[in-house]
Structure 1
């Protein structure tokens, strides 16, 4: 009987060890995927044809500045779809407006509070990817003062908001670009120290 208990204990330890190893492996795989995503973006910024940077800045460009990836800001949110017949006029940094459809809202918990953001789709787009322009309490300090963007794809009534992939609008690098301005409902009362930081010119 005593030997049988040892066998059960060893079995439990092996299962726990496997689960811990699997968790660590998944975290490492996730981190590597985010770093690869950022590496590819840096390559785009060095490209002659695809970079938003003025040519003089592009030639001197090394890499963008990011927060270290963390699964804490890969957030599973509740998604509530919305369908509107008419688009809303999204204000742009140039003083113009462009049509975007409201596609739904995502709600999530962070720092003990519930936060909600509105998701948009540019008029004419057929992509399943939705657009989230937002601000948070890092703007103007560690991140671009005008806010940042996030892209996400709903999966039924849930959606993953991966703030490790939050990115600056092109006007953060070049004022000639017209960029959507985050609406009031997407101004988060929380710090999101994840994703892209202020661009050092």
Structure 2
């Protein structure tokens, strides 16, 4: 895998999320998201799956779409905070808390800004449900994972837990991923999105 493979992966993911945002219905976007991710994982040189695991790959385990787990919520004010996550691949990654979202029936989640070159919104999730035990990502806009919302996210941000996905390190320990901090943990099991494989 080369750096240009990673660039192509990120472009494809960005295109995928653009198509999801343009879908006529969220469930249609979710079906597209599931199908394209399965294809990328199976065939792309920058797949998080180790090459040996790709031959027998039959698709990621993804829960059926649940419209009750899609929210359009404002980004509320939160006490500023800084978090630094050491990774083996990207060095120390710095995040700034820029707000929080309140998800009825689920809980509150901190919204972070990746404070590196270019920046991006980062919204991870950790719950006691059937997802990856280390936590999952819902939004990571620096890598294209953006579900949209109002032009001003303080008015409305789409947080659709059906699109929660395991970070690359869940598939291959060669990757190092920032995991959700305490402000992104909820007590409610979230039976949505990509589920644990083992």
Tell me the TM-score normalised to structure 2 length. Answer: 0.73
Gap change, CA 1:126 and 1:97, over 3 Å in 2: closer
Q: 1:149 maps to what in 2?
A: 137
1:50 is the counterpart of 2:46: yes
Gap change, CA 1:31 and 1:48, over 3 Å in 2: closer
Q: 1:196 maps to what in 2?
A: 194
| Aligned counterparts of 2:115 and 2:101: Cα–Cα separation in 1 | 20
Q: 1:39 maps to what in 2?
A: 35
| Aligned counterparts of 1:92 and 1:157: Cα–Cα separation in 2 | 33
Q: Can you give the 5+ residue segments of structure 2 that lack an aligned partner in the other structure?
A: 1-22, 140-145
Q: CA deviation at 1:158?
A: 2.3
Q: CA deviation at 1:91?
A: 5.0
2:121 aligned residue (125, 130, 155): 130
Whether the 8 Å contact between 1:78 and 1:108 is mirrored in structure 2 is: no
Gap change, CA 1:77 and 1:29, over 3 Å in 2: closer
Gap change, CA 1:166 and 1:45, over 3 Å in 2: same
- Output one character per residue of 1:7-54: Cα deviation in whole Å (capped at 9) or x when no partner: xxxxxxxxxxxxxxxxxxxx9832222111111111110124220111
Q: Can you give the 5+ residue segments of structure 1 that lack an aligned partner in the other structure?
A: 1-26
Q: 1:99 maps to what in 2?
A: 94
Q: CA deviation at 1:110?
A: 0.7
Q: CA deviation at 1:79?
A: 1.1
Larger deviation, residues 27-36 vs 189-198: 27-36
Whether the 8 Å contact between 1:91 and 1:181 is mirrored in structure 2 is: no
Tell me the TM-score normalised to structure 1 length. Answer: 0.72
- Output one character per residue of 1:115-161: Cα deviation in whole Å (capped at 9) or x when no partner: 2111122222536x5211221120xxx22111111115563332221
Report the structure number with the largest CA radius of gyration.
Answer: 1
Q: 1:16 maps to what in 2?
A: none
